[in-house]
Amino acid sequence: MRDTAARIVEAFARPIKAAIPGRQRRQMALRDAYRRVFDSEDGRMILADLVRLTGTGDCLVAGDPYTTHYNLGAYRVLRHIQAQGHVSDRAILMAITDTAEADRRANEGDDL
């Protein structure tokens, strides 16, 4: 029964998939890959590291246009990942919180 239903769904989906242009199909596949990666535990760990590396939007460094441009580029990468993977602002905030907590625990160990 389940195999029959899957075949019926595939029969209806095949013409729809064929009608989607190749570039759009690749974009959809890339978006799905971002989601799979950043929905995993490893992906959340990587996201937290990227948040630590790129900051959270405080890009402007007064009197230093080179560092400002660097910071803006790093921030743009994080926002691209967020947009491609449909990573929510909540997930970014959780990554920031996790990063801050991990840093706090690491610093406590240094005091011993």
Residue 6 lies in a domain: no
CA atoms 64, 68, 69, 70: torsion sign: positive
Question: What's the rounded mean pLDDT across residues 67-73?
Answer: 86
Rounded distance between C-alpha atoms, residue 80 and residue 30, angstroms: 12
How many structural domains compose the chain? 1
What does the pLDDT look like over 13-47, one tens digit per residue?
A: 666 666 667 778 888 888 888 888 887 888 878 88
Contact yes or no for 85/37 (Cβ under 8 A): yes
pTM: 0.56
Residue 89 lies in a domain: yes
Domain of residue 49 covers 22-111
Residue 3 lies in a domain: no
Residue 35 lies in a domain: yes
Residue 80 lies in a domain: yes
